[in-house]
Amino acid sequence: MDSDIFPQSLSPTRPHSPEYSSLLRAGPRIRPLTQIHARLVVSGNHPGRSLLTKFLTLAVSSGHPLYARRLLPSVPNPDAFLFVSLIRASSRSPLPFHSIHFYRLMLSFSIPPSNFSFTSVLKSCADISASQLGRIIHTHVITSGFDADRFVQSALVVFYSKNGSLDVARKVFDRMPDRSVVSWNSMISGYEQNGLAGSAITVFNLMTKEEMEPDSATLAIVVSACSQLGDMDLGKWVHENYIKGKIFPLGVVLGSSLVNMYARCGHVRRAREVFDGLEDRNVVAWTAMIAGYGMHGFAEEAMELFQRMQIYGPSPNDITFVAVLSACAHAGMIDGGREAFESMKRDYGFVPRTEHHVCMVDLYGRAGLLQEAIQFIADQIPGEPGAAVWTALLGACKMHKDFDRAAEFSCKLLALEPENPSHYVLLSNIYALAGKMDQVEKIRDAMISRGWRKQAGYSLIEIDHVSFLFRMGDTSHPQTAEIYRYLEELVCRIREAGYEPETDSVLHELEEEEREVAVRFHSEKLALAFGLMSTGGGTSIRIVKNLRMCGDCHLAFKFVSGVTGRELIVRDKLRFHRFEGGVCSCQDYW
């Protein structure tokens, strides 16, 4: 690098000079900065340290850190203030990794880091997921004696939370004597974004007990956690106590979170009420409402809202089209899905991603148009299709019992992801449906030899603000005897109404009577029985299941909704099922 980019004259530029005033007016824009640089070179003036610090910091802020790095050697005896300014400006720029360069350069000048340099460089490590480097800087924090600094502690919580090291983040968080809002939000967000919504809620409850007031960002995270858990009661409490109470305005971020929460908790009408009440609706809010309709089987409403968005709302993004295509796939709207896919490319210039391809394969596959799905893969997907595409096609083969094609496509799937246990489970289920128990045994043995286990299914139901978890054949509940007795009576009632168990999904090696017993005590049926016996006649039953609902449970729930007159809502791994009056909102198309 040049060491005399700025002239080394005996006439330094003072803070009150015209060049300094021009620099302040220029702001973080590279063109006027280069013009001022040229003026200084031509005039023969040597910039003072304060001017150089300002100049280099603005260069970084303008998005040109390399320009600043080239000029840095011209600074005689750079001090801590210069490096802190550069590290901080870089951490806030679109290229935060440059702050790490300035941090290392500062250490090479034997300038000890401060709490300001630590907070900024840790922010950069969090933003670019530099987990190993961030841990090294944590050791610098300890050896420099800043491990008790609350600003540095907060930066460490943010860093570890963003990088998924929640155990370390929680240790730092628990040691903080004075927690800011930032640190609380980072801890709650870290749990929520890593799928640990229950832990996120636990930290939020601790926050309220310590009388730390949440801000709108906190509430948006908590509402999102409620969406994951299906905990509408807490989400509704946040809505009514903090938002309807006018403590926080219903802005677009919080409003979009509420729309998503109500929709994912099975209350699509309330989601629409919140959506209609938003003064400012961005693409996230529109997309959340369209996706909400789609997951509940209200495809016509989803398409109507999408058409309104195209006329009155913001331009849809590629995620909006995922929601639209998914709604079409779950309702068998072949023409609507085709048109949306073409419009996405033709009218909006989006290049389809894997998610769009999966939706289209799912659209054709669910409708039984397996040849069209295969042709779509050949014509529309460049290169080798990913595992998600083959999984969608394999699921369609299972649904329509095309076992020959299933065997063909399973080879492609296992070749792509041979270490994914869920693929083996899907294939095992397909062979079981085909009655090929020898193949089922081979897959089971292969999984056992690798130490793999099928994901255990469970169902959650909330009664009087208390969550209860049931597994298949569960006997852990204190009211187990009453639950099983109530379920037996319920099965007798729906049998009288015409229900006959669907036992195809249960291992064919079992006798028919044994298969009936096996499907009878699935987790969602136990949760249903407990919910019905624990609530009054007008109460809706809401159940969250971690896996896909089986065909027999789906059939049984339809009959139960008819004989009891109750609304039953199940959110499974793929979508919502709203049972009422003997029918399901999915119209048996799932």
Residues 6+ apart with CB under 8 A from 488: none
3-state secondary structure 346-389: HCCCCCCCHHHHHHHHHHHHHCCCHHHHHHHHHHHCCCCCCHHH
How far is residue 326's CA from residue 363's CA, in Å, rounded to a whole number?
A: 8
Residue 145 placed within a domain = no
Q: Which of 222, 256, 275 is the last residue of a domain?
A: 275
Between the alpha carbon of residue 378 and those of residues 325, 329, 397, 410, the distances in Å are: 19, 19, 17, 17
Helix (H, G, I), strand (E, B) or coil at 468: strand
Q: Are 322 and 356 in contact (CB under 8 A)?
A: yes
Q: Are 292 and 264 in contact (CB under 8 A)?
A: yes
How far is residue 375's CA from residue 377's CA, in Å, rounded to a whole number?
A: 5
Cα end-to-end span (Å), the chain: 64
How far is residue 557's CA from residue 365's CA, in Å, rounded to a whole number?
A: 25
Residues 6+ apart with CB under 8 A from 239: 223, 258, 274
Residue 236 placed within a domain = yes
Split the chain (590 residues) into runs of 10 and give each run's mean pLDDT: 44 48 55 64 59 74 76 80 87 86 90 91 89 92 89 89 88 84 87 86 89 86 88 86 74 90 89 91 94 90 95 94 95 94 95 96 94 95 91 90 86 87 84 82 86 83 86 90 95 93 58 54 93 90 88 92 94 86 83
Number of Cβ within a 10 Å radius of residue 128: 16
Element (H, E) at 397: helix 387-399
Residue 502 placed within a domain = yes
Q: Which residue's entry shows tokens 């490590």? A: 125
Residue 360 placed within a domain = no
How far is residue 141's CA from residue 348's CA, in Å, rounded to a whole number?
A: 49
This model's pTM is above 0.85: no
What is the CA 334 to chain-centroid distance, rounded?
A: 28
- Positive or negative torsion for Cα 468, 527, 534, 224: positive
Residues 6+ apart with CB under 8 A from 559: 494, 497, 498, 499, 582
- Amino acid occupying residue 155: A
Q: What are the two backbone dihedrals, phi and then psi, of residue 459, each rounded to the nearest 5 degrees?
A: -130, 140
Longest dimension (CA), the chain: 103
How far is residue 104's CA from residue 25's CA, in Å, rounded to a whole number?
A: 31
What is the CA 23 to chain-centroid distance, rounded?
A: 43
Bridge partners for 299 per DSSP: none
Residue 126 placed within a domain = no
Bridge partners for 578 per DSSP: 569
Q: What are the two backbone dihedrals, phi and then psi, of residue 98, each rounded to the nearest 5 degrees?
A: -65, -25
pLDDT at residue 16 in the model: 46
Helix (H, G, I), strand (E, B) or coil at 569: strand
What angle do the packed helices 354-366 and 334-346 form, to 10 degrees?
Answer: 160
Q: Which of 257, 275, 293 is the last residue of a domain?
A: 275
How far is residue 320's CA from residue 353's CA, in Å, rounded to a whole number?
A: 13
Instruction: Give per-residue burial for 17-33: e unless 16+ CB within 10 Å, then b.
Output: bebbeebeebebeeebb
User: What's the angle, vertex CA 551, arms to CA 546 and CA 552, rounded to 5?
Assistant: 105
Tokens of 452: 């793999």
- Positive or negative torsion for Cα 87, 88, 92, 93: negative
- Amino acid occupying residue 501: P
- Amino acid occupying residue 195: G
Domain that holds residue 252: 187-275
Residue 162 placed within a domain = no
Bridge partners for 568 per DSSP: 541, 579
Tokens of 327: 């709604």
How many domains in the chain? 2
Q: Which of 275, 302, 335 is the last residue of a domain?
A: 275
Residues 6+ apart with CB under 8 A from 204: 188, 214, 218, 222, 225
Helix (H, G, I), strand (E, B) or coil at 417: coil
3-state secondary structure 49-101: HHHHHHHHHHHHHCCCHHHHHHHHHHCCCCCHHHHHHHHHHHHCCCCCCHHHH
Residue ranges of alpha helices (H) inside 211-281 are 216-229, 232-238, 252-264, 268-277
How far is residue 275's CA from residue 288's CA, in Å, rounded to a whole number?
A: 9
Residue 445 placed within a domain = no
How far is residue 43's CA from residue 408's CA, in Å, rounded to a whole number?
A: 76
Tokens of 34: 């280069």
Q: Are 319 and 352 in contact (CB under 8 A)?
A: no
Nearest one of 541, 434, 528 to 489, comparing CA atoms: 528
Between the alpha carbon of residue 492 and those of residues 247, 388, 498, 499, 584, the distances in Å are: 51, 41, 10, 9, 21
- Amino acid occupying residue 502: E
Residue 433 placed within a domain = no
How far is residue 86's CA from residue 32's CA, in Å, rounded to a whole number?
A: 19
